[in-house]
Amino acid sequence: MIKRSDFPKGFLFGTATAAYQIEGAVAEDGRGPSIWDAFSHTPGKTFNGDTGDVACDHYHRYKEDVQIMREIGFNAYRFSISWPRVMPDGKKINQKGVDFYNRLVDELLENDITPFITLYHWDLPLALDEKGGWLNPDIAMYFRAYATFMFTELGDRVKHWITLNEPWCSAFLGYFTGEHAPGHKNLQEALIAAHNLLRAHGHAVQAFREEVKDGKVGLTNVVMKVEPGDARPESFLTAGLVDKLVNAWFHDPVVFGRYPEEAVKVYRERGLRVLEDDFEIISTPIDFFGVNYYTRTLVVYDPTNPLGFSYVPGDLPKTEMGWEIYPQGLFDMLVYLKERYRLPLYITENGMAGPDKLINGKVEDDYRIEYIEKHLEKVLEAINAGVDVRGYFIWSLMDNFEWAHGYSKRFGIVYVDYSTQKRIWKKSAHWLKEFLKS
Ligand SMILES: CO[C@H](O)c1c[n+]2c([nH]1)[C@H](O)[C@@H](O)[C@H](O)[C@H]2CO
């Protein structure tokens, strides 16, 4: 049985959330609409028509939520700032919105919890989307101004920052598959959005170096273990390619100042334009990578698919999201990231959606305890293999708005009864409290 004391001294154990998924209060104290407000209110876009209008009402209940984190024993908390809450039109400052984050940061520090702030977790101000959003190259300068302002506001107390959460999702789910806001379905647009996201990241890092001299800044990416879904040699080659399209596409530019050649070739062969400007800015050195790991993805060679591959379901046990439970993939990817980029790593998300049922006031989520324990074992294995992992954040503190899945998927270690906003510790929260004392 793994113990907290097995981990290096100073290793951070935290939990993670995102503004639009938990805050609610979407029109309170001057907050402006985001693309997710518009998207979730568009019929057919989210499960059951669910929206983030109320979510977990964290905007009003943040003190209670911080107390839960303290009682469980976390020493870190990763959350995101709602850009449209602090700048309703993407530019003009809304002091009441800023004050919420000042209160939240102070509450965390008073409870000895280290704040990790994500500047962008998908809730772009709608006003900027109306100017082209991530398709408009000017977005990088809007983002730089927003980042600079937040650094000056909170950088005296917050020393760990993440520019973007998963630019792959923002670009490819938002502009190619259309599953996420703003819901476009155009691969060329996805490539343009991806490049502007990376440019915005680079500008924010440059601003950070000017504003927060004693801080650390990084980028959090989707980290998928990509494996061949059958034994054909072409599928092994395909897995290597998809790894470049998903993982390397957002890691390589930030460290090497270029896209992975094999992936550029795939796009160019299909007549798509791959942007290559501003790599100098994009590769402004960062201090760490945030790793969001959940599962592996299996791909097979499929010439009928526009990009030459298709996904296949694996046969391992799956979570409520249909994602295979594959802790080995976390070890593999931590070693892969260390070998390729040689940067410190924080696991900024790891967790599972479970069939959580509230029965007689309890949620016996033993499956989540096993999931967390197995993944922590792999983190420890990676550390012992020489990977510089500095923290682990569970997704998520509490059940929340799971994007297009609405409230149908529960990732929390704390159950939320949305009809009463009551927070109820799941068995996994009690297990974590013991683990964090061990
Ligand atoms: C393959 O999963 C992705 O890396 C991923 C999973 N998740 C995420 N990214 C997002 O960062 C969170 O907002 C989601 O709530 C969370 C759970 O779906």
User: Tens digits of per-residue pLDDT, 152-195?
Assistant: 999 999 999 999 999 999 999 999 999 999 999 999 999 999 99
* CATH 3.20.20.80 holds for 4-437: yes
Q: Which among 163, 160, 129, 126 has a CA at the least distance from the CA of 146?
A: 163
What is the mean pLDDT of the segment spanning 229-245?
Answer: 97
CA of 413 to the centre of ligand 1 (A): 15
Distances (CA, A) of 185 to 1, 176, 244: 47, 4, 21
Q: How many CA atoms lie within 13 A of 338 on its CB side?
A: 20
Show the ligand 1 pocket: residues with CB < 6 angstroms. Answer: 18, 21, 165-166, 222, 292, 294, 349, 395, 402, 411
- Does 168 appear as a known binding residue? no
Reduce the DSSP state of residue 49 to 3 states and report it: helix
Whether the predicted pLDDT of 306 surpasses 90: no
Looking at residue 310, its pLDDT comes to 97
Question: How far does residue 166's CA lie from ligand 1's centre (Å)?
Answer: 8
Residue nearest to atom 2 of ligand 1 (CA): 294
| CB contact at 8 A, 378 and 328 | yes
Which residue's CA is the nearest one to ligand 1's atom 18?
402
Q: How far apart are CA 434 and CA 428, in angstroms?
A: 10
Is 107 catalytic? The answer is no
- The Cα–Cα gap between 299 and 225 comes to 11
pLDDT at 266: 95
Q: Do the beta carbons of residue 181 and residue 35 sit within 8 Å? A: yes
pLDDT band at 238; cut points 50, 70, 90: very high
Best CA proximity match to 73, nearest among 407, 396, 432: 432
Tell me the CA–centroid distance for residue 312 and ligand 1, in Å: 20
Q: Which residues of 374-400 are buried (b: 16+ CB within 10 A; e: fewer)?
A: ebbbbbbbbbeeebebbbbbbbbbbbb
Which atom of ligand 1 lies nearest, measured to the CA of 351? 17
Active site residue 166: yes
pLDDT at 426: 99
Q: Is 294 annotated as a binding residue?
A: yes
In whole numbers, what is the pLDDT of the chain averaged over residues? 98
Q: Which of 12, 16, 18 is nearest to 401 (CA)?
A: 18
Q: Smallest Cα–Cα separation from 50: which of 422, 423, 403?
A: 403
Q: At what angle do helices 249-256 and 327-341 cross, to 10 degrees?
A: 20
- For position 139, what pLDDT does the model report? 98
Rounded to whole angstroms, the Cα distance separating 218 from 289 reads: 5
**21 annotated binding-site participant:** yes
Give the span between the Cα atoms of 398 and 25, in whole angstroms.
Answer: 17
Measured in angstroms, how far is the CA atom of residue 233 from the centroid of ligand 1?
31
> Does 121 appear as a known binding residue?
yes
Q: How far is ligand 1, taken at its centre, from the CA of residue 173, in Å?
A: 12
Note the pLDDT tens digit of each residue in 105-115. Answer: 999 999 999 99
Sorted by sequence, the CB contacts under 8 Å of residue 197 that are 6+ apart come out as 134, 164, 167, 170, 171
Confidence check: pLDDT of 129 > 90? yes
pLDDT tens per residue across span 395-437:
999 999 999 999 999 999 999 999 999 999 999 999 999 999 9
What pTM was estimated for this model as a whole? 0.98
Q: Report percent pLDDT > 70 for the chain.
A: 100
292 is in an annotated binding site: no
Q: What pLDDT shows up at residue 295? A: 98
Residues in a beta bridge with 350 = 394
Atom 13 of ligand 1: nearest residue by CA position: 18
Separation in Å, CA 433 to CA 1, 111, 308, 315, 360: 15, 16, 46, 33, 21
Task: Give the type of residue at 309.
Answer: F
Identify the sign of the CA torsion 204, 60, 427, 360. Answer: negative
Mutate to test the pocket of ligand 1, among 22, 323, 349 (most ligand atoms within 8 A of CB): 349
Which is the catalytic residue, given 23, 107, 211, 349?
349
Catalytic residue among 107, 153, 166, 324: 166
Q: Which residues pair with 311 in a beta bridge?
A: 299
**Nearest-angstrom CA–CA distance, 206 and 329:** 33
Mutate to test the pocket of ligand 1, among 166, 398, 399, 416 (most ligand atoms within 8 A of CB): 166
Spatial contact of 152 and 115, defined as CB atoms under 8 Å apart = no
